[in-house]
Amino acid sequence: MTAGGSSNSPRPSKNERRQAAREKARALREEQRKRERRNKFFLQGGIGIAVLAVIALVVLVIVNTVKPAGPGPANMASDGIVLGEGLTPVTTPALQPDQSPIPTEPDASGKVVDIRMYVDYMCPLCGQFERTNAEQIKGMLERGAATLEVHPISILDRVAMGSKYSSRAANAAACVANYSPDSFWNFNSLMMENQPEEGTTGLSDDEIAKLAVQADVERESAVTECIKDFKFKSWVDASTQRALSGPIPNSEVESVTGTPTVLVNGKQYVGSLTDPKEFAAFVLSVAADAFSTSTPTPTPEPAPAG
């Protein structure tokens, strides 16, 4: 620059200025295209991640929905647990929920009565029968005069305010039968003693688990987890349906139409639920019939000649 402030550099020509403007515009367009490609990539990537997340969620739901049902409870191959002399449970293998149950073979000697009960733990009539007859049935078991087969079923979920108490309670009974069968009598008794009213949500899983602990279950953690996981839900549904559709093995009863359904040597008890003497008389009558039919009639000796 000279002392007068003028520049020695020549000014760009009109064509040079036009070319520079075009170059600048081209550079801006190229930068815009790069920016759009980056945005498109990130957008597609984000959509892809979202789609993958949705697919993973759908797969998880489907897997849980069609997850094959686990086996039913051990020691309930007949759909019920059998308690014999001294309240000792009869052990049986676990069956798949949709497998046909194996009916218990009744005593053929006529000396031991077979008592079977189909119960719903929310059923107030079941509670009445339990309170009325538990002690005398226990005495029969301790003497070896009877066996007791308990079938927990679920028909009263509709009156449990959406909590599925009947099903959860039947599942809990199956859990105890599976993991601690020696504790079943105590647990069954506690469930009846603490029976909730119809029209309530019933006991929570935690409260049911506490009753199992109170019943002195052997594998406390396994029983508690089984109760809270609703482990035998498929079996509860299947065994309940079998009881409701029938036929009832070793009896003339077509199906369970309500609870309690009490059978003695296959004959249904329809008497009082609050009179222990009436049930005792029914058991004695059925036992006498069984004993008389199982005892062969003596062959008469030939009369002496002469």
Count CA atoms closer than 13 A to 146's CA, side-chain side: 24
Q: How many whole angstroms separate alpha carbon 104 and alpha carbon 219?
A: 26
pTM: 0.75
In tens digits, the chain (306 residues) has pLDDT values of 444 444 455 676 767 777 777 777 777 777 878 887 777 766 666 655 554 554 555 344 443 444 456 799 999 999 999 999 999 999 999 999 889 999 999 888 889 999 999 999 999 999 999 999 999 999 999 999 999 999 999 999 999 999 999 999 999 999 999 999 999 999 999 999 999 999 999 999 999 999 999 999 999 999 999 999 999 999 999 999 999 999 999 999 999 999 999 999 999 999 999 999 999 999 999 999 877 665 444 444 444 454
CB atoms within 10 A of CB 292: 10
* Six token digits for residue 299: 């062959």
Residue pointed to by tokens 């339990």: 130
Coil, strand, or helix at residue 267?
strand
Asked if 235 and 97 touch (Cβ cutoff 8 Å), the reply is yes
pLDDT at 302: 47
